């Protein structure tokens, strides 16, 4: 409590967080368990560890529980690519086809279905920046909006333990049309898996090895990887889906989970597992401009560039999004190089700071970084889909309601 107060937080207001989570989500059985790690200047001011890691086995959630973080993998992959940008091995304005020749003849969808598509030439080539900010024209199979995402489902492009590795995914994508010309719109997609392929190809090493050498090793992130190792298996949480009645249905049993073994597809878009403490180290590195405990991952200006809104014309997601993530709460929210960027709290209608950047994962995990107030937060739970509850927004409201001493 004394540390929280010394760092500008009200201990009494921070205590609301656990009461809120317990009353709204844990006691009614809406979530199996919740871990919420809140820090300022890298110092922990509050941690919630509530409920169960495994409801069926009555295994309590613990500080070192291992979670599937799904799309919270994307910022890690984006950081890995930006380390290569800093070394001059690739540039944001490079045509992707310069590095992936198979993409040289990608067309834009006009009509038809797999395998007989009619296409037209894109208005301009896909650039590396399009992959990082999801303006590439690629999509995700779960969008269920178009003949393109139907083709992704038919070819099982995104299955971690399917028949395709990263090379196979790229070859399959090269045979399919884009949904739109690069830069024309924002669509949540396998773009970051393509980023992972670029990282792997340029480094000449598996993506997992690049992550270990460039990010996890230097940051002492000992719990993060593409699967739960044998020494982590007992700590892997169960994953659930929400039932229509507001309860839980087991989606992935930790005793038989595919996350217990190395995947065929090392997905830079969604394949990692991690712990709250490990991911907090990654977030703190970004907060501190690319460095943590003497390990320099990126230069400060590179992090600043990543955390700027890169959507064309300074647009927000409500103006440019064609995907399932086009929500009213995305007003005043743009997209940077690997994560969303909130640039207008008034339009977003939430107490926050301009320049806050964040993202989340399919199983309702999330993180945010506030460089103005020097706040980082990591939310871990395991419930699909992430749109089931507004817990991310609620926790941001509760956090800023407890922050009494402002720097910005």
Asked, as a colleague might, if the bond just before 362 is cis with ω within 30 of 0, I would say no
Q: Is 377 strand, coil or helix?
A: strand
The whole-number average pLDDT for the span 218-224 is 98
* Tokens coding 188: 């949540």
Q: What are the structure tokens assigned to 3, written together? A: 């540390």
Residues 6 or more apart whose Cβ sits within 8 Å of residue 44:
3, 37, 38, 280
1 has pLDDT over 70: no
**pTM, to two decimals:** 0.97
pLDDT tens per residue, range 93-125: 999 999 999 999 999 999 998 889 999 999 999
| 3-class secondary-structure state, position 33 | strand
Q: Which of 270, 46, 63 is nearest to 157 (CA)?
A: 270
Query: Residue for token digits 């006691």?
Result: 27
C-alpha–C-alpha distance, residues 277 and 297, integer Å: 18
Nearest CA to 208 among 241, 160, 247? 160
pLDDT in tens, 5-49: 999 999 999 999 999 999 999 999 999 999 999 999 999 999 999
Angle subtended at Cα 283 by Cα 88 and Cα 66, rounded to the nearest 5 degrees? 115
Provide the percentage of residues in the chain whose pLDDT is more than 70.
98
pLDDT tens string 239-295: 999 999 989 999 999 999 999 999 999 999 999 999 999 999 999 999 999 999 999
327 pLDDT more than 80: no
> Whole-number mean pLDDT of the chain?
95
Task: Give me the phi and psi of 149, to 5 degrees please.
Answer: -70, -25
CATH 1.20.58 positions along the chain are: 90-203
Domain 2-80+223-401 part of CATH 3.40.50.2300:
no
Place of tokens 């598996």: 206
In sequence order, what are the beta bridge partners of 378? Answer: 37, 367
* Nearest in space to 189 (alpha carbons), one of 123, 121, 137: 137
SS3 75: helix
Contacts of 241 by beta carbon, 8 Å cutoff, 6+ apart: 248, 249, 251, 383, 384, 385
**C-beta separation of 407 from 374 below 8 A:** yes
- Phi, psi at residue 60, to the nearest 5°? -65, 150
Residue 249, classified by CB atoms within 10 Å of its CB into exposed (0-12), middle (13-18) or buried (19+), is exposed
State the architecture of 90-203 in CATH terms. Up-down Bundle (1.20)
Q: For residue range 185-201, what is the model confidence (pLDDT) as tens digits? A: 999 999 999 999 999 99
Q: How confident is the model over 254-270, as pLDDT tens digits? A: 999 999 999 999 999 99
Where does 158-305 show beta strands of DSSP type E?
239-242, 248-252, 273-274, 291-292, 295-296
In which element (H, E) is residue 117 found? strand 116-120
Contact 288, 42 (CB under 8 A): yes
How far is residue 77's CA from residue 360's CA, in Å, rounded to a whole number? 14
pLDDT at residue 326 is higher than 80: no
The predicted-structure confidence for 122-179, as pLDDT tens digits, reads as follows 999 999 999 999 999 999 998 888 999 999 999 999 988 788 999 999 999 999 999 9
User: Are 208 and 160 within 8 A, CB to CB?
Assistant: no
């Amino acid at each position: 409590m004394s540390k929280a107060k010394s760092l500008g937080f009200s201990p009494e207001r921070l205590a609301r967080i656990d009461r809120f989570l317990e009353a709204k989500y844990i006691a009614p059985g809406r979530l199996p368990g919740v871990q919420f790690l809140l820090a300022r200047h890298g110092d922990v001011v509050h941690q919630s560890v509530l409920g169960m890691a495994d409801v069926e086995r009555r295994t309590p959630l613990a500080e070192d529980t291992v979670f599937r973080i799904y799309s919270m993998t994307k910022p890690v992959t984006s950081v890995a690519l930006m380390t290569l940008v800093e070394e001059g091995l690739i540039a944001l304005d490079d045509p992707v086809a310069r590095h992936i020749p198979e993409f040289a003849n990608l067309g834009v969808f006009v009509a038809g279905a797999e395998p007989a598509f009619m296409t037209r030439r894109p208005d301009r080539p896909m650039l590396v920046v399009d992959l990082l900010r999801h303006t590439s024209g690629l999509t995700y199979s779960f969008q269920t909006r178009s003949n393109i995402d139907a083709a992704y489902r038919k070819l099982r492009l995104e299955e971690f333990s399917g028949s395709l590795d990263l090379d196979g995914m790229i070859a399959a994508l090269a045979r399919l049309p884009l949904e739109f010309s690069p830069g024309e719109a924002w669509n949540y997609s396998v773009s970051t898996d393509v980023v992972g392929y670029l990282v792997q190809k340029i480094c000449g090493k598996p993506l997992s090895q690049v992550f270990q050498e460039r990010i996890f090793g230097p940051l002492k992130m000992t719990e993060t990887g593409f699967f739960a190792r044998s020494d982590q298996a007992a700590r892997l949480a169960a994953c659930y889906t929400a039932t229509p009645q507001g309860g839980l249905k087991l989606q992935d049993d930790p005793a038989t989970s595919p996350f217990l073994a190395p995947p065929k597809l090392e997905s830079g878009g969604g394949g990692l597992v991690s712990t709250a403490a490990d991911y907090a180290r990654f977030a703190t590195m970004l907060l501190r401009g690319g460095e943590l405990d003497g390990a320099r991952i990126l230069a400060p200006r590179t992090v600043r560039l990543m955390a700027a809104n890169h959507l064309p014309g300074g647009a927000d997601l409500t103006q440019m999004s064609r995907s399932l993530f086009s929500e009213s709460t995305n007003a005043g929210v743009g997209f940077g190089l690997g994560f969303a960027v909130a640039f207008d709290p008034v339009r977003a209608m939430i107490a926050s700071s301009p320049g806050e950047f964040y993202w989340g994962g399919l199983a309702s995990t999330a993180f945010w970084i506030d460089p103005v107030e020097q706040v980082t937060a990591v939310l871990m739970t395991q419930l699909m889909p992430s749109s089931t509850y507004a817990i991310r927004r609620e926790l941001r409201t509760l956090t800023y309601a407890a922050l009494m001493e402002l720097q910005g």
